[in-house]
Amino acid sequence: MSALIDTLREIVGTPHCLSAHADMAPFLTDWRGRYTGAAQAVVFPADTAEVSAVVQACAASGTPIVPQGGNTGLCGGATPLPDGAAVLINLSRLRRIRRIDPANNAITVEAGTPLAVVQAAAREADRFFPLSLASEGSCEVGGVISTNAGGVQVLRYGNTRELVLGLEVVLPDGQVWNGLRSLRKDNTGYDLKHLFIGAEGTLGIVTAATLKLFARPRSSVTAWLAVNSPAAAVALLSRLRSVAGDRVTAFELIGRTSLELVLQHIPGARDPLESAHPWYVLVELTDTRQDAGLAELLEAELERAIADAAVHDGVVAHSESQANTLWALRENISEAQKREGFSIKHDISVPVSAIPEFLERAGQALEEAHPGIRVVAFGHLGDGNLHYNLSRPLRDENDAFISRTLDVGRIVHGLVATLDGSISAEHGIGQLKRDILPVYKSAIELELMRSIKKMLDPAGIMNPGKVL
């Protein structure tokens, strides 16, 4: 072990190779605090060449590797196992913006670049990078790609997979595949980049990416609306898209319990409406034209919706500050839940039309099995992705409830499967869902996945214990 650490220190420099437990500790626990592992060392390479050299050294000694970015993942995918055998490779020093090509609507950045920095660089070039997450100030491009992150604007722009033009990847033997193409059309065989998007570092380490840019929105309008049910929210989405089309860029569903947690735990949070309602929608429209008349369009349609009793109340933001305040209520739900304590979390997707049925049937089944259960449901209704989190209202009852995670999961995931959905919409598999994945993936899918893993990583050193 000491010989490997000496080699790693020669590659990255002694200050960038941590081996003392106290120094490594911040990198060995996931954001939620659910998983804590151990490692031989945590290394911070400065560029792709150093990543390649570190991987070669680990491969030569048969040492497992765990790639890590901003460590904001929600399934334990960037946390090493407790056995302490792995070397954790943190990519945070790889944060150069290599190239911006506005005419081609493309930007090439390194894996450690924070998502917010990519967004800012696009704005400076009078362009727009649409991926938006609550953790965008700290999550990094490599992790976003490795988990195929979604966020609030998938409705208009798609998941990370749809935003990647090319990748640079260090393979499990240390070779570097340079696939940093910026082409929209390249029909020369297998599109290899898709193997690594969403693979959670199990097939290689993403070190750089070429990403799509778009015309910068120059007008927007945001509204917080009260509806009576998820079915009413789905109908409202259809209604707004019929009058605004793709200008509906975000459409978030938020249950009252979710909002109450934010009001309780986030200083300065205020209820936008005078009275409580069971469900809320946070909607955003954007346009590349300055004079698009979005506020007038939205307000006119909302007047009709209120007259039809499709919407019960609402507030339209009339400044960027007001819009940010509304978005903060949505984006702070996860932080508020973290402060409240552990819960059984589900990141599921079903067809948009099936969301009301899922919420009704899941709620009934869980209440029958666990009377008094608290459901915190929110998420990206526009693309069918819900965060469906469960706990007991009293903390002293919650530890026993958390121990029923598998039983609760069978109810939730079984219903998701019945509705032709997915047990992981945007958070990945990691450690959290590794053992239940075989229940919901067909045997042939799993065998194909294992075959790809074995071909690229025959020694099984890349992020062991994750996904498969």
Model confidence pLDDT, tens digit, residues 139-155: 999 999 999 999 999 99
- Give the number of residues written for the chain: 468
Whole-number CA gyration radius for the chain: 23
Element (H, E) at 293: none
Q: Where are the alpha helices (DSSP H) in 266-380?
A: 294-307, 320-331, 333-340, 355-369
DSSP symbols for 47-75: SHHHHHHHHHHHHHHT--EEEESSS--SS
Q: Which DSSP symbol is given to 223? A: E
CA–CA separation, 315 vs 407, rounded Å? 40
**pLDDT at residue 341 tops 90:** no
Q: How many CB atoms lie within 10 A of CB 146?
A: 31
**Using CB atoms within 10 A of its CB, is residue 306 exposed (0-12), middle (13-18) or buried (19+)?**
middle
CA–CA separation, 60 vs 77, rounded Å? 24
CA–CA separation, 315 vs 15, rounded Å? 52
Contacts of residue 127, defined as CB under 8 A and 6 or more positions apart, other chains included, come to 100, 102, 105, 107, 213, 214, 215, 216
Contact 374, 257 (CB under 8 A): yes
**pLDDT at residue 396 tops 80:** no
**pLDDT at residue 244 tops 60:** yes
User: 327-337, pLDDT tens digit by residue?
Assistant: 999 999 999 99
- pLDDT confidence bin for 326, thresholds 50/70/90: very high
CA–CA separation, 268 vs 262, rounded Å? 10
Q: Which two tokens stand for residue 145?
A: 């790609």
What backbone torsions phi and psi does residue 317 show, to the nearest 5 degrees?
A: -70, 135
Share of the chain above pLDDT 70, in %: 100
CA–CA separation, 232 vs 220, rounded Å? 24
Give the pLDDT mean for 82-93: 98
Question: Mind listing the domains of the chain with CATH numbers?
Answer: 2-90 (3.30.43.10), 97-215 (3.30.465.10), 219-334 (3.30.70.2190), 341-427 (3.30.70.2740)
